Amino acid sequence: MTFTIDYLALAPELVIVGTLLVVFTLDMVLTRPKKFWIATAAVAGTALAAIPLVILGVQGETRSMFDGSYVVDEFALVLKGLFIVAAYLVLLMSHHYIESERYYQGEYYFLLLASVLGSLVMASSRDLIILFIGLELTTAPLFLLTGWRKGDAKSNEASLKYFILGVLSTAILLYGMSFLYGLTGEITFSGLAEATAGRGDEPAMVMAILFVIVGFGFKIAAVPFHFWAPDTYEGAPTPITAYLSVNSKIAGFVALLLMLYIALPGVSEVWAPALWILAALSMTVGNLSALRQTNIVRLLAYSSVAQAGFMLVPFAAAAVVGADLEEAFAATVVYLAIYAVMNLGAFAVVIAGARKTRSGELSAWAGLAQVDSRLGVLVAVFFFSLAGIPPLAGWFAKFAMFRSVMIAGGTTTVVLAVIAAVNAVIALYYYAKVVKTVWVDDPTGEFVEDVEAAPAVSLRLALWVSLALTVAIGFFPALVTFVGDASRVIAVGG
Amino acid sequence: MIVSAGYYMALAAALFVIGALGMLLRRNVLVMFMCIELMLNAVNLTLISAGRALNDLNGQVAVFFILVVAAAEVVVGLAIIVAIFRRRSTASIDELSELRG
């Protein structure tokens, strides 16, 4: 047993830890007019954390620590990069939003960075304890951030609902994990993979795996465990909603995929049907509910439930027919990366638009393009990208998903592919409805037209970055295929 | 008399079910908190008795982590409840229904 610490491998996490300590200290020292330095420090620190990631990526070697419980391989690096880029965009969106509403700034950035730290830890975790710590560090600060607007009853309620269901899901997940440990005596993923192989017919094993899947089902907001998502998304401050629907959801996905792909591949006959049902239900229920929504944030909430269904498709399809999981794993990671970019863009547009409409109701958005055509173009780009229309990034995510399903082959997968295809069409309807409302419908009310309503510099930067990525990936999918290829280089640890 | 690990597991399972039922049936937020604690302690008991039966330390170490995280979560939860109490003095989850799922 060696317990040497590889500081370069831990550097991204250490930079984030340093940044959040700086943010915390600055908050106590600075007076109110100077509080903007806190946001600047947070943004700079997050950008700084990308530097060791690039160095590690260029070196390209797999580093393993603590008896293989903590592994920095290409898969972990790619996901950490994704988490940091997404966090960077969320910080840019938050800056003006938090400042103009006069909320506590220091604690906001502190908690947000703590959550980012959790997701970085999770991408490297290769045993149950670190996975659990990473998952909780990601979600616990978000309970507080959801309720950030303390004076607003909706925000209070959203955070309580998120808290109760978040903790409940943790308890269920942990109970499943404690059974896995009790049955095998292993906590590392590599040990679990050996010890569980071929034991899928034991009732206790089946129960343990189902508990784990239910626990993660809540975290990724898959139907039927999604009911907290729309309420929480609507009540939370909008930048936090963006963070919830991107970072926190991807973190949940990564944890689920790590468990299933590395720790439990030997018992795929148990979890494959469960995943198949989750995928089919999430797509269908998510999309059908989204059709009825009149509030744009709730619409995006149900859309992200449906997108979670699409993300589950490759894995569910490949596992049901017993095909090689590697292809499905790569397709899912590509989908996650593209989803992160376009969904953050959609939320940035919602924040920018809400400054003019002063409302999240879709009816208030009617005719927005007539007063601000640039914003109208952005709405069209991000919502059509979410629908999967070429040449915007979303098409390649859908393409990668369907391709991996076709490679898997088999009747059950074709059924799932048909369900996914039908849902892609339903989704187009409500995404297009938003674009139609903004471009074609006549304005129903007055728009706010003053300097205050113009998007702040940081928000504009977030919009530009996500716009550039969405369009570039759509034309040159090779930009993200490396994400999928890198995820093939995954070290099991141990 | 030697009490085997199976009895502890059964007790843990009973605690977990009581906690889960409490979460579903009770409407007072503070009671729901207690039910969550009950569920987490069921997990701890399972881990400890499994670790003891397997003669392995990992399970017992995991319990420390879960205890600490559970404590941190209670702090977060109580903070949220205080924020709600300031606006309206009720702890019933039914009264919180401005958002419809």
Please write the tens of the pLDDT for every residue from A51-70.
Answer: 888 888 888 777 888 777 88
Q: Which of B54, B83, B97 sits opposite A150 (nearest CB)?
A: B83
Pick from B43, B88, B101: CB nearest A174: B43
- pLDDT attached to residue A408: 80
Q: Chain B residues with CB-CB distance to A under 8 A?
A: 9, 16, 19, 23, 29, 32, 36, 39-40, 42-43, 46-47, 49-51, 53-54, 56, 58-59, 61-62, 65-66, 69, 72-73, 76-77, 79-81, 83-84, 86-88, 93, 96-101
Task: Let me know if residue B25 belongs to a domain.
Answer: yes
Chain A residues touching residue B66 (CB < 8 angstroms): 132, 174
**Is it the case that residue B101 has pLDDT exceeding 50?**
no
Cβ <8 Å between B100 and A164: no
Question: Which residues in chain A are closer than 8 Å to B79, comparing Cβ atoms?
Answer: 144
- The Cα A378–Cα A374 span in angstroms is 6
Kindly report, residue by residue over B76-99, the tens digit of the pLDDT: 998 888 888 887 766 566 666 655
Give the mean pLDDT of A381-403.
88
CATH code of the domain in which B14 resides: 1.10.287.3510
Angle at A145 between CA A172 and CA B91, to 5 degrees: 65
Q: Which of A40, A97, A36, A87 is nearest to A351 (CA)?
A: A97
- Mean pLDDT rounded to a whole number for chain A: 86
Domain that includes residue B25, residue range: 5-89
Q: Is the peptide bond before A224 cis (omega within 30 degrees of 0)?
A: yes
Residue A279 in contact with residue A309, Cβ under 8 Å? yes
- Residue B98 included in any domain: no
pLDDT tens digit sequence for A187-241: 888 888 888 888 888 888 999 999 999 999 999 988 888 888 988 998 898 899 9
Give the whole-number percent of chain A exceeding pLDDT 90: 33
10 Å CB burial of residue A478 (0-12, 13-18, 19+) is exposed
Q: How far apart are CA A444 and CA A128, in angstroms?
A: 53
d(CA B47, CA A316): 30
C-alpha–C-alpha distance, residues A39 and A20, integer Å: 11
User: What pLDDT digit, counting tens, does each position of B14-68 carry?
Assistant: 999 999 999 888 888 888 888 999 999 999 999 999 988 888 888 888 999 999 9
CB contact under 8 A, B101 and A230: yes
Residue with tokens 């989204």: A290
Q: Are strands A70-72 and A63-65 parallel, antiparallel or unpaired?
A: antiparallel
Q: Which two tokens stand for residue A457?
A: 């510099």
Asked if A196 contacts A263 with a C-beta cutoff of 8 angstroms, the reply is yes
Measured between CB atoms, which of A140, A147, A187 is closest to B73? A140
The residue of A178, A232, A297 whose CB has the most chain B CBs within 10 angstroms, and thus the best one to mutate to test that interface, is A178
Chain segment A348-363, per-residue pLDDT in tens: 999 888 888 877 788 8
Tell me if B31 sits within 8 A of B92, measured CB to CB: no
Q: What does the pLDDT read at residue A494? A: 47
Reduce the DSSP state of residue B28 to 3 states and report it. strand
Q: What is the pLDDT of residues A271-304, one digit of tens each?
A: 888 999 999 999 999 999 999 888 899 999 999 9
Instruction: Report the pLDDT value the prediction gives residue B96, as an integer from 0 to 100.
Output: 62
Write out chain A residues lying below 8 Å of B10, CB-based. Answer: none
The model's pTM is 0.91
Q: Taking CA atoms, what residue in A is nearest to B64?
A: A129
Closest C-alpha to A331, from A342, A346, A315, A319: A315
Interface test with A, best of B40, B44, B58 (most A CBs within 10 A): B58
Q: Is residue B96 part of a domain?
A: no
Query: Phi and psi for A71 in degrees, rounded to 5?
Result: -125, 135
**What does the alpha-carbon distance between residue A215 and residue A169 come to, in Å, rounded to a whole number?**
5
Which stretches of A63-108 are assigned E, i.e. beta strand? 63-65, 70-72
Yes or no, beta carbons of A133 and B80 under 8 Å apart: no
Q: What is the pLDDT of residue A452?
A: 62
Residue B19 belongs to some domain of the structure: yes
Judge whether B101 lies within some domain: no
Confidence band for A112, pLDDT divided at 50, 70 and 90:
very high
What total number of domains does chain B contain? Answer: 1
Categorize the per-residue pLDDT at A22 as very low, low, confident or very high, splitting at 50, 70 and 90: very high
Closest approach of B94 to chain A, Cα-based (Å)? 11
Of residues A40 and B96, the one with the higher pLDDT is A40
Token pair, residue A482, equals: 């490396």
Asked if B76 lies within 8 A of A128 by C-beta distance, the reply is no
Q: Does the distance separating the beta carbons of A171 and B19 come in below 8 Å?
A: yes
By Cβ distance, the residue of A163, A171, A227 closest to B80 is A163
- Supply B3's token pair: 């009490």
Tens of pLDDT, residues A126-172: 889 999 999 999 999 999 999 888 878 888 888 988 999 999 999 99
Taking any CB pair shorter than 8 Å as contact, residues of chain A touching chain B are 128-129, 132-133, 136, 140, 143-144, 147, 150-151, 153-154, 156-161, 163-164, 167-168, 170-172, 174-175, 177-179, 181-182, 185, 187, 227-228, 230-231, 234-235
pLDDT number for residue A493:
55
Please name the residue of chain B whose CA is at the shortest distance from the CA of residue A236: B99
Distance CA A424, CA A415 (A): 14
| Degrees to nearest 5, angle at CA A95 with A93 and A97 | 75
Does the N-terminal peptide bond of residue A391 adopt cis geometry, omega within 30 degrees of 0? yes
Phi, psi (5° rounding) for residue A65? Answer: -130, 165
Asked if residue B63 belongs to a domain, the reply is: yes
Whether the Cβ atoms of residue A388 and residue A472 lie closer than 8 Å to each other: no
A188 closest CA partner among A272, A269, A262: A262
Token pair 């007019």 in the structure block, residue: A33
| Residues on chain B touching A211 (C-beta within 8 angstroms) | none
Quick: pLDDT tens for A238-278: 899 999 999 989 999 999 988 888 888 888 888 888 999 99
pLDDT at A482 (0 to 100): 75
Residue B79 domain flag: yes
Give the nearest chain B residue to A183 (CA atoms): B50
Q: With respect to residue B54, please indicate whether it lies within any of the assigned structural domains.
A: yes
Residue A2 scores a pLDDT above 80? no
Q: CA–CA distance from A434 to each of A338, A339, A381 (Å)?
A: 21, 18, 11
- Chain A with chain B: Cβ pairs closer than 8 A: 126
Given a cut of 70, whether residue A3 has pLDDT beyond it is no
